[in-house]
Structure 1
Amino acid sequence: MQSVNPYTESVREEYDEHGEADVEEALSRADDAFEEWRERSLTDRRRLLADAGDVLRENEEKYAELMTEEMGKPISQARSEVEKCAWVCDYYAEHAGEHLQEKTVKGPEDAETYVRYDPLGPILAVMPWNFPLWQVFRFLAPHLTSGNVGLLKHASNVPGSALAIEEVLRDAGYPEGVFQSLLVDSEQVENIIADDRVRAVTLTGSGPAGRAVAEQAGENLKKSVLELGGSDPYIVLDDAPLDEAAETGAQARTINSGQSCIAAKRFIVHDDVYDEFVEKFVEEMEALDVGDPKDEETNVGPQAREDLMSDLQEQVDETVEMGATVETGGEPMDREGYFYPPTVLTDVPRDSPGGCEELFGPVASVFRVESEEEAIELANDSQYGLGGSVWTEDLERGKEVAANVESGAVFVNELTKSDPRLPFGGIKQSGYGRELGVEGIHEFVNRKTVFVQHGVGDE
Structure 2
Amino acid sequence: MNTAHKDTEKSQHFYPDLQLIINGEYLSRDGAPVINPSTGESIADVPFATEADLASALEAAAQGFKIWSEMSPAKRETIMRDTAALLRERADEIAQAITLEQGKPVAQSKVEIMRACEIIEWDASEGRRTYGRVIPSQMPLTHTVLRKPIGPVAALSPWNFPMNSPGRKVAGALAAGCSIILKASEETPAGAFELVRAYHDAGVPPGVVNLVFGVPSEISEYLIASDVTRLITFTGSIPVGKHLAGLAAKQMKPTIMELGGHAPVLVDEAVDPVEVAKTCVMGKSRNAGQVCVSPTRFLVHDGIYDSFLESFVEKANSLKIGDGFGSDIDMGPVANDRRLTAMQEFVADATDKGAELAAGGHQIGNQGYFHEMTVLANVPDDARVSNEEPFGPLAMVNKVGSMDDAIDVANRLPYGLASYAFTNSADVAEQLAHRVESGNLSLNHLVASVAETPFGGVKESGYGREGGTEGLDGYTVVKNVSHLTSTV
Superposed displacement of residue 153, structure 1: 1.0
1:327 alignment partner, one of 355, 358, 364: 358
TM-score (norm 2): 0.91
Q: Kindly provide the CA deviation profile for residues 388-417 of structure 1, in whole angstroms up to 9, marking residues without a partner as x.
A: 011111133212222100110111101142
Alignment match, 1:211: 242
Query: Aligned pair in 2 of structure 1 residues 282, 24: CA closer, same or farther (>3 Å)?
Result: same
Relative to 1, partners in 2 of residues 1:119 and 1:331: Cα closer, same or farther, differing over 3 Å? same
Within 2, Cα distance between the matches of 1:244 and 1:130? 28
Does the residue aligned with 2:94 lie in a helix, a strand or coil? helix
Please list, as runs of the form range in 1=range in 2, the aligned pairs for 1:285-304 lying within 5 A after superposition. Answer: 285-304=316-335
1:237 matches 2:271: no
Moved more, 125-134 or 250-259: 250-259
In 2, are the aligned partners of 1:241 and 1:392 still within 8 Å (CA)?
Answer: no
State the Cα distance separating 1:94 from its structure 2 match.
Answer: 2.7
Contact persistence 2:450–2:467 (CA under 8 A): yes
What secondary structure, in the 3-state scheme, does the structure 2 residue paired with 1:438 have?
coil
* SS of alignment partner, residue 336 of structure 1: coil
Q: Structure 1: how far apart are the matches of 2:442 and 2:217?
A: 38
Whether the aligned pair in 1 keeps the contact of 2:317 and 2:359 (CA below 8 Å) is yes
Q: Supply the distance in 1 between the matched residues of 2:450 and 2:480 (Cα, whole angstroms).
A: 30
Q: Secondary structure at the match of 2:70?
A: coil
- Structure 1 runs (4+) deviating above 6 angstroms are none
2:291 pairs with 1:282 = no
Identify unmatched segments of 5+ residues in structure 1.
none
Residues of 2 paired with 1:453 and 1:168: CA distance? 46
Cα distance, 1:308–1:107 mapped onto 2, change above 3 Å: farther
Shift of 1:8: 1.3
2:190 corresponds to: 160
Q: Does 1:422 align with 2:424?
A: no
Aligned identity (percent) is 34
Tell me the alpha carbon deviations over residues 247-273 of structure 1, each in whole angstroms, 9 at most, x when there is no partner: 221122111111000010100011111
Residue equivalent to 1:182: 212
1:194 is aligned to: 225
Specify which of 90, 105, 108 is matched with residue 59 of structure 1. Answer: 90
Contact 2:87/2:195 (<8 A) preserved: no
Specify the alignment match of 1:264 in structure 2.
295
Amino acid at match of 1:159: P
Contact 2:259-2:461 at 8 Å conserved across structures? yes
Report the alpha carbon displacement of residue 159 of structure 1 after superposing the two structures with TM: 2.4
Aligned position for 1:448: 479
C-alpha separation between the residues in 2 aligned to 1:44 and 1:112? 29
The two structures, once aligned, show a CA RMSD in angstroms of 1.4
Asked if the contact 1:389/1:412 (under 8 Å) is kept, the reply is yes
Residue-by-residue CA offset, 1:161-207 (whole Å, 9 max, x unaligned): 33222211111111111111111212211121000001110100011
Contact 2:68 2:208 in 1 (8 A): yes
The equivalences for 1:343-362 within 5 A come to 343-362=374-393
Output the TM-score relative to the length of structure 1.
0.96
SS state at 1:38 partner: helix
Residues of 2 paired with 1:96 and 1:27: CA distance?
Answer: 24
Residue of structure 1 in register with 2:156 after alignment: 126
Structure 2 SS opposite 1:84 = helix
Q: Distance in 1 between matches of 2:261 and 2:137?
A: 43
SS of equivalent residue, structure 2 residue 452? coil
Alignment of 1:79-118 (within 5 A): 79-98=110-129, 100-108=130-138, 110-118=140-148
Q: Tell me the distance in 1 between the aligned counterparts of 2:455 and 2:239.
A: 20
What is the DSSP-based 3-state SS (H/G/I as helix, E as strand, rest coil) of the residue aligned with 1:272? coil
Match of 1:172 in 2: 202
Cα pair 1:262 1:416 within 8 Å, conserved: no
Instruction: Give 1:95 deviation, angstroms.
Output: 3.0
1:119: how far off?
0.8
Structure-2 residue corresponding to 1:318 = 349
Question: How far apart are 1:243 and its partner, in Å?
Answer: 3.2
Report the CA distance shift for 1:105/1:290 in structure 2 as closer, same or farther (over 3 A).
farther
**Given residue 163 of structure 1, which amino acid in structure 2 is its aligned partner?**
F
Residues of 1 paired with 2:423 and 2:46: CA distance? Answer: 50
Matches of 1:10 and 1:200 in 2, distance apart? 37
2:364 match: secondary structure? coil
- Which segments of 5 or more consecutive residues in structure 2 lack a partner in the other structure? 1-31
